[in-house]
Amino acid sequence: CVSDEVVVNFIRGICQQYRVTNAYHNFTHAFAVMHMVFSLVRKAKIYPLGQLDVLAMLVAAVCHDVDHPGTDNDFEVQCQTDLAITYNDTSVLENHHVATCFRTARQSDDHNIFDELEKKAYKHTRRVIIECIISTDMKNHFTMVAEIEKTNSLASDHKEATAMNLMMHAADIGSLLGPAPHTLEWTDRVMSEFDEQARKCREAGASVPAHMADLGSEGKRAKLQVDFIDYIVTPLWKLLEAKDQKNVGPLLGMLAEARANF
């Protein structure tokens, strides 16, 4: 059993590597995602999971954006940054977050939350953490949703990985499922990061993603959020609601309220 001291040291080590200059991708976001994952696992009847899987998901959640530079994969690849070179242009940031998670655990015995796991359990835990964090790459979003809709895989046995990846991704994009002041603050935060990346793109001579351009217009910001809700968040969360309407339904109700505010 891992000691409380080791857990605290690990979490502190991860927290210190989140960049406080990031308006959105910071430790507060990581903690919010971990809380959402915990709520889904504990209350919602999405898929039965063992204790080891729950541990792995919570670690993945708190680490899923560690040392995020405040820019996206497209920027890293366009500019051929050190991270893009290291991870061969493939899920660049997500691979970096995974590596940072395990590097932090291995920096010393008093940080290693995996040290007490047997070899087989560690291998399983590492695989779950890797897959959960990689699943937060938005490039995987439509494939994930389409595959689950097509196969109804959450209703099948031995689909723990699918369920865990879905819950992790849902939690990561779940900042709009909450009270109005909460959702509006996170909207302002993500728009601020988009503005900053657009500035960096122009300085580097890289193309500015369409959804990050001209965000000074309130109408453009509102349409961006409405489209995000309609085409990204809602279809994904509907998959979870199909498994547990009682617990997930109210969250989708708050999402509808957030949409109305825009």
Helices (H) and strands (E) in the chain, counts: 13, 0
Q: Is residue 199 within 8 Å of residue 205, measured between CB atoms?
A: no
Backbone CA torsion sign across 150, 155, 157, 161: positive
Looking at residue 212, the DSSP 8-state letter turns out to be G
Active site residue 35: no
Q: Please name the residues in contact with 240: beta carbons below 8 A apart, sequence gap of 6 or more.
A: 40, 44, 46, 166, 167, 170, 248
Spatial CA neighbour of 139 closest among 171, 205, 92:
92
- Kindly tell me the sign of the dihedral angle through the C-alpha atoms of 103, 144, 19, 70: positive
Pairwise CA distance, residues 135 & 144, whole Å = 9
CA of 243: how far to CAs of 24, 28, 153, 210, in Å? 30, 28, 11, 35
Which member of 25, 68, 96, 169 is catalytic?
25
Asked whether 221 and 172 are in contact (CB, 8 A), the reply is no
Q: How far apart are CA 148 and CA 163, in angstroms?
A: 9
Which positions are catalytic? 25
